[in-house]
Amino acid sequence: MENLILCDVQQGVMTLTLNRPERLNSFNDAMHQQLAHCLTQAERDDSIRCLLITGAGRGFCAGQDLNDRHVDPTGDAPDLGYSVETFYNPLVRRLARLPKPVIAAVNGVAAGAGATLALGCDIVIAARSASFVMAFSKLGLIPDCGGTWLLPRVAGRARALGLALTGGKISAAQAAEWGMIWQLAEDANLQDTSIALARQFATQPTYGLGLIKQALLAAEHNTLDQQLDLERDYQRLAGRSADYREGVAAFLAKRQPQFQGK
Partner 1 sequence: MSALITEQQGRVLTLTLHRPEARNALDNRLLTALADALDAAAGDPGIGAVIITGQPRFFAAGADLREMASRGLAETLNDPRPAIWQRIDSFPKPLIAAVNGYALGAGCELVLLCDLVIAGDNASFGLPEITLGLMPGAGGTQRLIRTVGKALAYRMVLSGDAISAQRALQAGLVAEVHPAGLTLEYARTLAARIAGHAPLALQAAKQALRYSQESGVTQGLKQERTLFTLLAATDDRREGIAAFLEKRPPTFTGR
Q: Which residue lies nearer to partner 1 by CB, 70 or 236? A: 236
The number of residues that bind partner 1 (CB under 8 A) is 5
Decide if residue 236 touches partner 1 (CB under 8 A): yes
Q: Which residue lies nearer to partner 1 by CB, 133 or 211? A: 211
What's the min distance (Å) between Cβ of 128 and partner 1? 40
Quickly count: other Cβ atoms within 10 Å of residue 189's Cβ: 13
Q: Which residue lies nearer to partner 1 by CB, 58 or 240? A: 240
Quickly count: other Cβ atoms within 10 Å of residue 119's Cβ: 26
Decide if residue 237 touches partner 1 (CB under 8 A): yes
198 with 103: CB under 8 angstroms? yes
Decide if residue 233 touches partner 1 (CB under 8 A): yes
What's the min distance (Å) between Cβ of 216 and partner 1? 15
Decide if residue 234 touches partner 1 (CB under 8 A): yes
Q: Which residue lies nearer to partner 1 by CB, 83 or 241? A: 241
Interaxial angle between packed helices 157-166 and 147-155, expressed in degrees from 0 to 180 and rounded to the nearest 10: 130
What's the min distance (Å) between Cβ of 237 and partner 1? 5
Strands (E), the chain: 5-10, 13-18, 50-55, 102-106, 109-111, 123-127, 131-133, 169-171, 183-185
Q: What are the CA-CA distances from residue 70 to residues 17, 20, 23, 29, 65 (Å)? A: 25, 18, 15, 13, 10
Q: Which residue lies nearer to partner 1 by CB, 41 or 226? A: 226
Contact track, partner 1, 192-231, x by CB under 8 A:
--------------------------------------x-
Strands (E), 56-144: 102-106, 109-111, 123-127, 131-133
Residues engaged in binding partner 1 (CB under 8 A): 230, 233-234, 236-237
